[in-house]
Amino acid sequence: MNNIRELSKDESSGMTIIVKTISRLVLSFILLFGFYIILYGHITPGGGFAGGVILSISYVLLMLAFGSKVALAKLSNFWASMLDNLGALAFIVIGFLGLTGGYFMTNFIWHGHPGQLISAGIIPLCNIAIAIKVSAALYAIFIGLSIYGRIVTEEEK
């Protein structure tokens, strides 16, 4: 933890102190909004994909504002790939658990009352699995695009 604090205070990496300060304030709101979109996706517009994109934007902002060392200290490319695979596995497991009801993706959880948070059976679980997959995959794509720079050939030199 102290290593991350030291990296975030390093002025040689990342952007200016103004951008870093605003990013610290905005990051928590972005994460909170992403979790809101994921959890209430079955009641309001949104869901796992939209919430996952919002969560990945928070890590992209972290990488842009503080540099790649801080973002990779928070969530490395190994764990981004691992979360991507676990999100896909969770979605498949939820689908196969539906086989207990006779069909793939059959709802096996109590529906609750319409309009409330617990009112959609397996849909919130699917939203969470999809959000984990999408956010980790988009973050891993951004890592790949930002770390590996453009290759300069001999002719361009």
CA distance 121 to 109: 5
pTM: 0.81
* pLDDT tens over the chain, length 157 residues: 556 555 556 666 678 889 998 999 999 999 999 999 998 888 888 889 999 999 999 999 998 898 888 888 888 889 999 999 999 999 999 998 888 878 888 888 877 777 676 777 888 889 999 999 999 999 999 988 877 666 666 666 5
